[in-house]
Amino acid sequence: MTGVEDLLRECAPQVLGAVVRRYGDFDRCEDAVQEALLAAAQQWPADGVPDSPKNWLITVAARRRIELLRSENARRRREESVSHDPEPEVRPDDELTLLLLCCHPALTPVSQVALTLRAVGGLTTAEIARALLVPEATVGQRISRAKQRIRDTGARFTMPPAAERAERLTAVRQVLYLIFNEGYTASSGARLHRVELTTEAIRLARQLHALLPGDGEAAGLLALMLLTDARRPARTTTEGALVPLAEQDRTLWDAAAITEGVALITATLASAPVGPFQLQAAIAAVHGEAACAELTDWPQILQLYGLLRVLDPSPMVTLNRIVAVAMADGPSGALAELAVAEMDPALTGHHRVAAVRAHLLDMAGDADGAREQYRLAARLTLSIPEQQYLTSRAARLSG
Amino acid sequence: MKYVILIQSNERSLAVWETMTDQQRMDLGRGHMELNEEMQKAGVHVSSEGLADPSLAKYVSVRDGKTITSDGPYAEAKEHLAGFYLIDCETQDEAIAWAAKVPDAANTEVEVRPVLDMSGWDI
């Protein structure tokens, strides 16, 4: 990212916040700010950055909003008085209000993601489309539908009442985590564009943490992203093949990100009520602190998964905990737990059950059983790198 | 999640086609156009195409670095791909709901298949 792009993305939510607070019509203001950002991206590199970039953007967006309004009302010839309007101004909690509005519970997750990336992240529709691997027109539709929905529900650009805020913040954190995963789980293909999504998610999580330093889960989310992203350079080969955690070259991990993530989660666990993102960050921190796979503190990881299972149970937590059981206490107990876990309809026939079982049988020395389960998992997965990994595991056991 | 909805042409679908009036055939075509538009408006549409008659197909193979094209040998195949929709939606249930709107589903059946992606989780 260039300096101008950095600056524009930083300004985007503040400018939109100022304009929408002043005029109220979120839909039109968002379009106007997007156009002001595009104008700046073209003009500033050539003409130089103005003395007050935010005021420049606010002025251009406000003018553009009037033009949009006029063209909509052209037939009725209704003029809007412009000259007496006070200039919109930037206020500190605008960014949070904006995040809460973009992650409004009436929107579907895909709409929340697209709208947040554009309105808060300052990305263009084309950039979002490239990152999400869908056509630009499709993303455009998702954004306009999201704005339509916001209009229909009568949601306004105001801070939700205190009683609602906790729930609404949960949605914000979830959306940022979705954006992060969308980028992080992409191991190749359009990797370059998608890595930008993890960077963007971390940037937004940093903002959220800065806006709400006392929110333990916001801190936990940022720590989790930092600690997970730190492993990115080691998790794929140059050809895009997946490298399992145990075989990763840990010298490739981003030591600075690990240090920051560990410090953040340690401080947060000591001061805030514990939550699911903090526990996941704590697990990532245990991995991050192990100099080699053999030195991983599996009993501690097992304990953390035990807490996570109580606090925020999910099929994936169940499976990850079973892997931790095997690593801490050996595969036989873990295999028995897996047989029980599989009864959960969410896990029946899931490729990851077969992948975990393959891994456990492999540990137990049952090569035939493991091979068969690796092959089964390879058939059921929807991910090409995972399929390659599972197939090569099965092949390694043949012979 | 991307899903492809596949529409096959086979003896059964041809038999239905033979019994249709001109109006019904027009309606089928319009149904596809309307579905396309509905998918676009819903923000799930990635691409969709109807395919030309298999008699226009060329079969391509490469042997010893040489490209060989031929008209067959599969021209007599009883079933061929007639068209597809590629959509991006959140769940398989949602994909199934879109497939149910494909006009051909009312005559024979359409197939919904998940598309492989390049994602990968930590293992």
Domain boundaries, chain B: 2-114
Decide if B48 contacts B84 (C-beta within 8 A).
Answer: yes
pLDDT in tens, B35-56: 999 999 999 999 999 999 888 8
Contact criterion met (CB < 8 Å) for A382 and B114: yes
Chain mean pLDDT for chain A: 90
Give the separation between CA A2 and CA A8, rounded to whole angstroms.
Answer: 10
Compare CB distances from A185 to B1, B46, B119 and report the shortest one's residue: B119
Where are chain A's structural domains? 3-76, 92-212, 215-290
Q: What percentage of residues in chain B have a pLDDT greater than 70?
A: 93
State the CB neighbour count (10 A cutoff) for residue B65: 5
Task: List chain B residues with pLDDT less than 70.
Answer: 73-76, 120-123
Instruction: Report d(CA A341, CA B123) in Å as an integer.
Output: 19
Residue B113, helix vs strand vs coil: strand
Q: How far apart are CA A114 and CA A137, in angstroms?
A: 12
Non-local CB neighbours of A230 within 8 Å, separated by 6+ positions: A253, A254, A255, A257, A258, A261, A288
Nearest CA of chain A to the CA of B71: how many Å? 32
Tokens of B42: 């819903």
Residue matched to tokens 């959509």: B87
Average pLDDT for A50-68: 94
Q: Which of residues 75-134 of A touch B (CB under 8 A)?
A: 108-111, 132-134
The band of A76, judged by pLDDT with boundaries at 50, 70 and 90, is low
Contacts with A384 from chain B: Cβ below 8 Å:
116-118
- Max distance between CA atoms of chain B, in angstroms, equals 57
CA atoms within 13 A on the CB side of A46: 5
- Contact A142/B40, CB-based, under 8 Å? no
Q: Does residue B73 have a cis peptide bond before it, meaning omega lies within 30 degrees of 0? A: yes
Q: Do A185 and B120 touch (CB under 8 A)?
A: yes
Residue B73 CB partners (closer than 8 Å, separation 6+): B59
Residue A190: per-residue pLDDT: 45
DSSP class of residue B110 equals -
Q: pLDDT class for A254, splitting at 50, 70, 90?
A: very high
B39: distance to nearest CA of chain A, Å? Answer: 9
Separation between Cα atoms, residue A323 and residue A80, nearest integer Å: 64
- pLDDT of A189 over the 60 cut: no
Where does A212-330 have alpha helices with state H?
Answer: 216-229, 232-235, 255-271, 276-289, 298-311, 315-329
The residue-averaged pLDDT of A166-184 equals 91
Tell which CATH classification among 3.40.190.10, 1.10.10.10, 3.30.70.1060, 3.10.20.30 matches the domain B2-114. 3.30.70.1060
Q: SS3 for B2?
A: strand
Write the pLDDT tens digit of every residue in A269-321.
999 899 999 999 999 999 999 999 999 999 999 999 999 999 999 999 999 99
Distances (CA, A) of B67 to B55, B56, B63: 20, 18, 7
The answer to whether the CB atoms of A244 and B123 lie below 8 A apart is yes
Q: Do B43 and A109 touch (CB under 8 A)?
A: no
Chain B residues whose beta carbon lies within 8 Å of the beta carbon of residue A224: none
Global confidence as pTM: 0.87
Write the pLDDT tens digit of every residue in A379-390: 999 888 889 899
Nearest to B120 among A142, A231, A383 (CB): A383
Q: What is the predicted pLDDT for the residue at A392?
A: 93
Looking at the partner chain, which of A138, A185, A240 has a beta carbon nearest the beta carbon of B121?
A: A185
Q: Check B40 against A138: CB less than 8 A apart.
A: yes
Residue of A148, A382, A391, A393 for testing the chain B interface, max B β-carbons within 10 Å: A382
Residue A5 has pLDDT above 90, yes or no: no
CB contact under 8 A, B43 and A145: yes
A326, two tokens: 């095997």
Dmax (CA) for chain A in angstroms is 83
Instruction: Go through B105-123 and write b for each residue having 16 or more CB atoms within 10 A of its CB, e for each that does not.
Output: eebbebebeeeebbbbbbb
Which residues on B lie below 8 Å from A387 (Cβ)?
116
Report, as an integer, the average pLDDT of A260-270: 97
How far is residue A59's CA from residue A55's CA, in Å, rounded to a whole number?
6
- Residue B4: DSSP 8-state: E
Residue A62: partners with Cβ closer than 8 Å, 6 or more residues away? A19, A22, A23, A32, A85, A87, A88
**Contact A320/A306 with Cβ under 8 angstroms?**
no
Put simply, the answer to whether A135 touches B47 (Cβ < 8 Å) is yes
**What is residue B51's three-state secondary structure?**
coil
Position A81 confidence tier, pLDDT thresholds 50, 70, 90: very low
Question: A377 — contact with chain B (CB < 8 Å)?
Answer: no
| ipTM score | 0.81
Which residues 153-192 of A are in CB contact (within 8 Å) with B? 185-191
Q: Do B43 and A139 touch (CB under 8 A)?
A: yes
Look at B122 and A384 and tell me if their CB atoms are within 8 Å.
no
What pLDDT shows up at residue A188?
Answer: 47
* Radius of gyration of chain A from its Cα atoms, rounded to whole angstroms: 24
In this prediction, residues A180-196 reach a mean pLDDT of: 66
| Type and span of the H or E element at A355 | helix A351-363
Are the CB atoms for A150 and A27 separated by under 8 Å?
Answer: yes
Residues of B in contact with A133 (CB under 8 A): 88
Task: Select from B115, B118, B123 the Cβ nearest to the Cβ of A189.
Answer: B118
Proportion of chain A above pLDDT 70, given as a percent: 93
Closest residue to A384, CB basis, from B88, B118, B121? B118
A108/B115 Cβ within 8 A: no
What is the torsional sign of CA A16, A19, A22, A26?
negative
Minimum-distance CB partner of B116 among A145, A235, A383: A383
Report, as an integer, the average pLDDT of A38-46. Answer: 93
Whether the CB-CB separation of A302 and A320 falls below 8 Å is answered with no
Rounded to whole angstroms, the Cα distance separating A203 from A215 reads 17
Residue B17 burial (C-beta neighbours within 10 Å; 0-12, 13-18, 19+) = middle
Q: Mean of the pLDDT values across residues A43-69?
A: 94
CB contact under 8 A, B44 and A138: yes
10 Å CB burial of residue B94 (0-12, 13-18, 19+) is middle
A156 SS3 class: coil
Query: Comparing C-alpha atoms, which of A21, A20, A15 is closest to residue A38?
Result: A15
Give tens-digit pLDDT for A333-373: 999 999 999 999 999 889 999 999 999 999 999 999 999 99
Q: Could you give the 3-state DSSP secondary structure of residue A188?
A: coil
* A377, A354 contact by CB (below 8 A): yes
Half-sphere exposure (Cβ direction) of B58: Cα atoms closer than 13 Å: 6
**Is A382 an interface residue toward B (CB < 8 Å)?**
yes
Whether residues A389 and B123 touch (CB distance < 8 A) is answered with: yes
d(CA B113, CA A220): 37
CA distance B4 to B2: 7
Interface of B with A (CB under 8 A): 1, 40-47, 88, 90, 114-123
CB A21 within 8 A of CB A157: yes
Question: How confident is residue A85, by pLDDT bands cut at 50, 70 and 90?
Answer: low
